[in-house]
Amino acid sequence: MKNTKIIAVANQKSSGKTTTCVNLGAALSLKGFKVLLIDFDPQESLSNFFGLYNFEKNIADLMLKHINKQPISIEDYIIRNEVNGIDIIPSNNADMNLFSRVIISKRGQETVLRRLLAKHDTFRSYDYILIDCNASVDVTVDNALSAAEYALIPCWAAPFNFAPLTNTIGQITDIKEELNPDLKIIGILLTFCERTTNCMAACEAVRNRFDDLIFSTTMTRTAKADTSLKEKAAVLSNAKDNKTAIEYRAVADELVSRIGRCE
Ligand SMILES: Nc1ncnc2c1ncn2[C@@H]1O[C@H](COP(=O)(O)OP(=O)(O)OP(=O)(O)O)[C@@H](O)[C@H]1O
Ligand SMILES: [Mg+2]
């Protein structure tokens, strides 16, 4: 059995979470790791990126079956994506919405995902499980943070993004105190970086406040990083000038070494 690292990619605001999951997942696979991506967002952006729409066997259905003590075959829910070298459990808008309504009346509402992952050995065959969170601080995100050992926070480097960043960090702090003492922020990744005064001021403010938590690699805003149309992660591009590919490979290296320092 592997020492599976579970990472929740979270921020209350749109900030490149899905792009980060897709590219970090593919980059970690390129490094030889076995990777599972869980789409935890009712928007289904990550699933749609891989061509999976409105999928019947999805993470919310799994969690609902777990709550209702129904038999589950995890393998039926895992989609292999050979192009990107990763496995995926998709999301489904209707089932995620149903989950968030049903869960409110249940005991242990924040820990369903954690209990599901702990119960099935299949999940321990992975080196990395990345959870693509929805843009919120709701009970769904509570579930991702309760299940994870690490939180990675992409942060769009622009003014007005400081409040959602601190809200997300507040939620992580609460979950750590109340439910998941193992939870650690593995890093804040500055995204959509460009050479404007506003952006540089935002980066400086975040650096001044969070210092060592900031990944030394930052993500450049680029026209090429469109995650919504292509089914292949930008990180797989061999073009020497593909900044997104180069930067996400560097983020993957930094992530592995940061986690190494935590162990
Ligand atoms: N470095 C980048 N340069 C330019 N565009 C980018 C970059 N990274 C991501 N994008 C684009 O920005 C949009 C938002 O990114 P993404 O969907 O990854 O954010 P998100 O945090 O997952 O959003 P949400 O909170 O809605 O789930 C997408 O269209 C994506 O293709
Ligand atoms: Mg997203």
Please work out whether the CB of residue 39 comes within 6 Å of at least one atom of ligand 1. no
Inside any domain, residue 47: yes
What is the structure's pLDDT at 160?
Answer: 85
Closest-approaching ligand to the CA atom of 16: 1
Please work out whether the CB of residue 226 comes within 6 Å of at least one atom of ligand 1. yes
Please work out whether the CB of residue 16 comes within 6 Å of at least one atom of ligand 1. yes
Inside any domain, residue 197: no
CA–CA distance, 188 with 166 (Å, rounded to integer):
11
Average pLDDT for 184-190: 98
**Residue of higher predicted confidence among 2 and 220:** 220
Give CA separation, 19 vs 1, 26, 128, 151, 233, in Å.
29, 11, 16, 16, 8
Inside any domain, residue 54: yes
Task: Give residue for tokens 């789409």.
Answer: 39
Please work out whether the CB of residue 145 comes within 6 Å of at least one atom of ligand 1. no
Inside any domain, residue 124: yes
Q: How many CB atoms lie within 10 A of CB 195?
A: 8
**Residue of higher predicted confidence among 229 and 263:** 263
Give CA separation, 164 vs 32, 63, 169, in Å.
34, 27, 9
Give CA separation, 228 vs 59, 129, 180, 184, 240, in Å.
21, 21, 33, 30, 22
Is the per-residue pLDDT at 230 higher than 90? no
Inside any domain, residue 112: yes
Inside any domain, residue 256: yes
Model-level pTM greater than 0.95?
yes
pLDDT in tens, 39-85: 999 999 999 999 999 999 999 999 999 999 999 999 999 999 999 99
Which residues span the domain enclosing 233? 5-150+225-262
What residues flank ion ligand 2 with Cβ within 5 A?
Answer: 17-18, 45
Question: Based on the structure, what is the number of domains in the chain?
Answer: 1
For ligand 1, what atom is nearest to the CA of residue 135?
25
Average pLDDT for 233-237: 90
Please work out whether the CB of residue 17 comes within 6 Å of at least one atom of ligand 1. yes
Inside any domain, residue 184: no
Closest-approaching ligand to the CA atom of 225: 1
What is the structure's pLDDT at 229?
Answer: 55
Q: How many CB atoms lie within 10 A of CB 223?
A: 5
Confidence of residue 13 (pLDDT cuts 50, 70, 90): very high
By most ligand atoms within 8 Å of CB, the mutation choice from 9, 15, 18, 50 for ligand 1 is 18
Distance 26 CA to ligand 1 centre (A): 16
pLDDT in tens, 132-143: 999 999 999 999
What is the structure's pLDDT at 126?
Answer: 98
- Closest residue to atom 26 of ligand 1, CA basis: 14
What is the structure's pLDDT at 146?
Answer: 98
Closest-approaching ligand to the CA atom of 12: 1
pLDDT in tens, 103-118: 999 999 999 999 999 9
* CATH, residue 34: 3.40.50.300
Is the per-residue pLDDT at 172 higher than 70? yes
**Residue of higher predicted confidence among 223 and 87:** 87
Confidence of residue 237 (pLDDT cuts 50, 70, 90): confident
Inside any domain, residue 235: yes
By most ligand atoms within 8 Å of CB, the mutation choice from 40, 50, 168, 227 for ligand 1 is 227
Confidence of residue 153 (pLDDT cuts 50, 70, 90): very high
Instruction: Write the DSSP string, 67-136.
Output: HTT----GGGGPEEETTTTEEEE---HHHHHHHHHHGGGSTTGGGHHHHHHHH-GGGGG-SEEEEE--SS
